[in-house]
Amino acid sequence: MNLISSIVNKIGRSIQYIENPDLYYLRRNDGIFDLYEKISQPWIKSIGIKTILDIGANVGQSTVTFARVFPAAKIYAFEPIPDCYQKLEAKFINNKNVSAINIAVGAQLGELSLELNNYTPSSSFLKMDNRHVESFPFTTVDKVVNICVDSLDNIVNKFVVEEPILAKIDVQGFEDKVIAGGQKTLDKCRLVIIETSFETLYKDQPLFHDIYNLMIGMGFKYAGSMGQLLDPKTKQYLQSDSLFIKDN
């Protein structure tokens, strides 16, 4: 029975890939299927995004997805962890529309200590809360490294950034610092996808209502969730990739 189910599933995936080759591309290049489905909707494509700021790119999972949906857009992918940055840079070495930048985005220029996690997407400038360890025991801090940080406004000021702009912010509890240092840049964005937490996973991190209030105060409106993270055991909602939009 398991063999039959496996064969049926493989046939189903093959048909799906034939109908939409993008899905096969994402699978081969570690793209994010859920993100692809959300941002490839006609109403988002109709905005005509020309620049994407991928803040917290890790090894390029979201960058791959953005590049597939918006092939003509210029993408600036920010990743502070050296090993992750090297993989990110190598992945897009032949794509002139993607620029990998080895820096962390925060409130201001300086140097901060990063809690480097064995599971790199969980690395943060903030210490993990007990809730994080309980829900995801495979996430353990390997070591602490010093990382160069600069504000989004300072960084983007060095580039030619064409509007409309989409920004994705996924920085493990540091989202309010990115917003604080990116007021001018974010003011020019049409869409912002930002990780928001309902439970404290990192000590002193902002929660959903904090980020919501900051974004609404900047003239954005909340446009819904683009995906949720659930506690593997209790199935409680822990985080959401929240979409905020600003009208012309």
pLDDT at residue 22, rounded to an integer: 84
Find out whether 126 and 171 touch, Cβ atoms under 8 Å: no
Q: What is the DSSP letter of 59?
A: T
The mean pLDDT value for 149-172 works out to 96
How far is the C-alpha of 240 from the C-alpha of 248, rounded, in Å?
Answer: 25
DSSP H or E segment with residue 191 = strand 189-197
Name the one residue in this structure whose structure tokens are 């055991």.
Answer: 233
Using 50, 70 and 90 to split pLDDT, how confident is the model at 24? confident
Using 50, 70 and 90 to split pLDDT, how confident is the model at 19? low
Using 50, 70 and 90 to split pLDDT, how confident is the model at 170? very high
Helix 82-91 vs helix 61-69: crossing angle, to nearest 10: 30
Using 50, 70 and 90 to split pLDDT, how confident is the model at 28? confident
Please determine, for residue 15, whether its predicted confidence score (pLDDT) is greater than 60: no
How far is the C-alpha of 41 from the C-alpha of 117, rounded, in Å?
Answer: 34
Find the range with the poorest average confidence among 26-35, 108-117, 190-199.
Answer: 26-35
- Give the tens place of pLDDT for each residue, 189-228: 999 999 999 999 999 999 999 999 999 999 999 999 998 9
For 210-241, letters b (16+ CB in 10 Å) and e give ebbebbeebebeebeebbebeeeeeeeebbbb
Count of all residues that appear for the chain in the document? 248
